[in-house]
A and B are shown apart, each in its own frame.
Chain A
Amino acid sequence: KAGVTQTPRYLIKTRGQQVTLSCSPISGHRSVSWYQQTPGQGLQFLFEYFSETQRNKGNFPGRFSGRQFSNSRSEMNVSTLELGDSALYLCASSPGQGFEAEMMPVLERGNEQFFGPGTRLTVL
């Protein structure tokens, strides 16, 4: 199976602009999570989508939004960019909790997330 892909890999924007990042999960995975990684704050959870619905959300302002399509691909949008939004944005996919997960043996329920290579966003 192909891994998680993220596009673009690198992006340079200026303050006030908006940006859309894309993530294609592993085939068959229904859950997509987004993280922001910065040297100062480390890895911070943005949000998670499952079956086109936002299921969990971290503590980020409303400028950060996302969506998931019927094929499980996900996009993340940041509006009115600020200098502090410069970061590596990581997408992670996993099978997702649902009927299929409940059928798995207990040991498999600690489903891991598979991470993409990230999109490096620089805001000037």
Chain B
Amino acid sequence: AQSVTQLGSHVSVSEGALVLLRCNYSSSVPPYLFWYVQYPNQGLQLLLKYTTGATLVKGINGFEAEFKKSETSFHLTKPSAHMSDAAEYFCAVSLSGGYQKVTFGTGTKLQVIP
């Protein structure tokens, strides 16, 4: 079985501040991990994904995430928040690339304060 927990349904940061969105997963086998972003009235867009190899993954729009097996975490970070980053972010896990069995977290809404 697999599951994803996103800590904090709402996160507020000031423009220019560090963005940290937390994601912890549970998986019985090595997972594939994803972060998606959803802007209002739009579908989900992939930010980045971890499959194998380097544990620090860089994605689009300056975001990155680090896979930490010992902590079962895959937190999303960005050094400096922009107003355009305001959106909802979803962490997701699948087993061995079985994307059709992707399990999504409940989402974290990011608010960027000018």
Contact = CB atoms under 8 A, between A and B. Distances in A.
Contacts of A35: 104
A56 B100 contact: yes
Interface string A26-54: 00000101010000001101001010000
Contacts of B106: 42
Given A42-B106, A117-B42, A118-B42, A112 B99 contact: yes
Contact of A115 (B43, B53, B107): B43
Most chain B C-beta atoms within 10 Å of own C-beta, residue among A43, A92, A117, A120: A43
Interface residues of B, number: 28
Contact of A55 (B94, B97, B100): B100
A48 B98 CA distance: 12
Nearest to B6: A42
A107 interface: yes
A117 B101 CA distance: 21
Contacts of A112: 34, 46, 49, 99
Interface of B: 32, 34, 36, 41-46, 49-53, 90, 94, 96-107
